[in-house]
Amino acid sequence: MSEDFTRVDGRKPDQLRPYRIRAGILRNADGSAEIKLGKNWIVVGVYGPKEHFPKFEALQDRAILFCRYHMAPYSTTERKSPKPSRREIELSKVIRSALEQAVILERFPEMSIDVYIEVLQAEGSTRVASITAASVALAEAGIPMKDMVVGCSAGKVNGKIVLDIGEEEDKEGEADLPIAIMPNLKKVVLLQMDGKLTHEEFKEAFEMALKGALELYEEQKRALKDLIEKMKTIEGESNE
């Protein structure tokens, strides 16, 4: 890969967009998180575990994980209908499937855990950014998990393999490869591909996305540590 290759936003091929994750941002949720990745701005609220209604739908051996991915009408350049689109319904299922592999649902039979994802501003790769933020929100809610879940994307643009596909690159690119992993267990929980890659290109894109995911995993940990320190400070001030 040419070292002088730069992208439409000036990034290097293996460079993430600027990112920031914050935990504990919603007062009325059991757990919450916010991720900003480039111009993406996504907020997640987690509610539960709580008794599932209607009761006849509850599972005897585990909790039900409900996930809703929703894009605000003003989140894209063209106004989006507030009604759930087919894509939003599909991505809700994709995100739920990734998170279900980490959450220990067996701890909460006959209960439910709700994950609400609100995309306030979209700029490509929102599914992996949503998974990354949702994992932090679940952790902040105290939901037991086997591991964190973190996602990232890679793809092919102008014949080059690049990390963290943005909106313009997604429109003009030749392939998009979103992944999500449990980093400590070294398990892939999401792997999709849109477009065509050779075997070697796929390997390069996957390794690049994996590297990006591990970088974002460090940011997940930092966000949770910052929240713990903030809580300790508040507790210390209240005891004075």
Query: The domain spanning residue 60 has which CATH number?
Result: 3.30.230.70
Question: What burial letters (b/e) apply to 222-240, b meaning 16+ CB within 10 Å?
Answer: ebbeebeeeeeeeeeeeee
- Residue 8 resides in a domain: no
- Residue 9 resides in a domain: no
46-134-162 Cα angle (round to 5): 165
Segment 112-156, tens digit of pLDDT: 999 999 999 999 999 999 999 999 999 999 999 999 999 999 999
Report whether the peptide linkage leading into residue 49 is cis, meaning its omega lies within 30 degrees of zero. Answer: yes
Label the pairing between strands 194-195 and 160-163. Answer: unpaired
- The pTM for the full model equals 0.93
| Count of structural domains within the chain | 1
204: enclosing H helix or E strand: helix 199-239
- Residue 14 resides in a domain: no
Residue 236 and residue 43: Cα distance in Å, rounded? 29
Mean pLDDT across 92-107: 98
Segment 195-240, tens digit of pLDDT: 999 999 999 999 999 999 999 999 999 999 999 999 888 777 666 6
- Residue 11 resides in a domain: no
For 44, the domain range is 19-239
- Residue 138 resides in a domain: yes
Segment 10-63, tens digit of pLDDT: 999 999 999 999 999 999 999 999 999 999 999 999 999 999 988 889 999 999
Q: 2 pLDDT band (50/70/90 cuts)?
A: very low
Mean pLDDT across 88-92: 97
Distance of CA 53 to the CA centre of its chain: 27
- Residue 210 resides in a domain: yes
**Is the pLDDT score of 3 beyond 60?**
no
Where does the chain show beta strands of DSSP type E?
19-23, 31-37, 40-51, 64-71, 111-121, 150-157, 160-163, 175-182, 187-191, 194-195
**Is the pLDDT score of 1 beyond 60?**
no
- Residue 214 resides in a domain: yes
Report whether the peptide linkage leading into residue 183 is cis, meaning its omega lies within 30 degrees of zero. Answer: no
- Residue 97 resides in a domain: yes
How much is the pLDDT for 239? 65
